[in-house]
Copies of this chain bind each other. A is one copy, B any other.
Amino acid sequence: MLAADVAVTMATVTEGTPAREAAKVLAGQDLPGLIVVDHRGRPLTVLAGVQVLRMALPSYCQEDPALARVIGEADATVILDGIGDRTVADLLPRERRELPAVSPKATLLEVAAVMARANVPLVAVVDADRVMTGAITLDSLLDHILGT
């Protein structure tokens, strides 16, 4: 079995996508992260879901979760308000890590290696022009390797 057999299609975002929208795309699909692509559909960055949360959450909350407690339940929308009008590009980490991407013909062990190396539970599958054709999640990879 090869990468192409395990890949699923997924919604992507671009650097120009409003960050609020990106958070909703992440929440709206049952996948463990987001893939940011350029205008030709070539992946630029693969973000784990928790990275998106970290981008969206005010840093004072992350430094001291007790502060988040006193803000109160009703203000959970502080997350979206905190994002404001910023775009994905505004919130991306400055240093880009190695892009976890594989060819449709990659073996599952190769996909596992790329995923482990990138430390993200999501890998993009790209064609010869580096255009994304699908994505492989850790869950589906394990299901296929372990036969669960």
A residues whose Cβ falls under 8 Å from a Cβ of B: 1-2, 23-24, 26-28, 30, 32, 48-50, 53-54, 57, 61-69, 71-73, 75-80, 106-110, 112-117, 119-121, 138-139, 141-143, 145-146, 148
Chain A binding site: helix, strand, loop or mixed by DSSP? Answer: helix
Contact at B62–A148, with CB atoms within 8 Å? Answer: no
Could you tell me the distance between the alpha carbons of A67 and B78 in the complex, rounded to whole angstroms? 46
Q: Within the complex, what minimum Cβ distance (angstroms) separates A118 from chain B?
A: 8
How many copies of this chain are found per oligomer? 2
Contact at B109–A76, with CB atoms within 8 Å? Answer: yes
- Provide the residues of chain B in CB contact with A62, threshold 8 Å: 113, 116-117
Contact at B73–A107, with CB atoms within 8 Å? Answer: yes
Could you tell me the distance between the alpha carbons of A61 and B50 in the complex, rounded to whole angstroms? 25
Contact at B23–A146, with CB atoms within 8 Å? Answer: yes
- Provide the residues of chain B in CB contact with A2, threshold 8 Å: 73
- Provide the residues of chain B in CB contact with A54, threshold 8 Å: 116, 119
Contact at A115–B53, with CB atoms within 8 Å? Answer: yes
- Provide the residues of chain B in CB contact with A26, threshold 8 Å: 142
Residue of B at shortest CB range from A2? Answer: B73
Known: A28-B148, A32-B121, A113-B62. A108 touches B73 (CB 8 A): yes
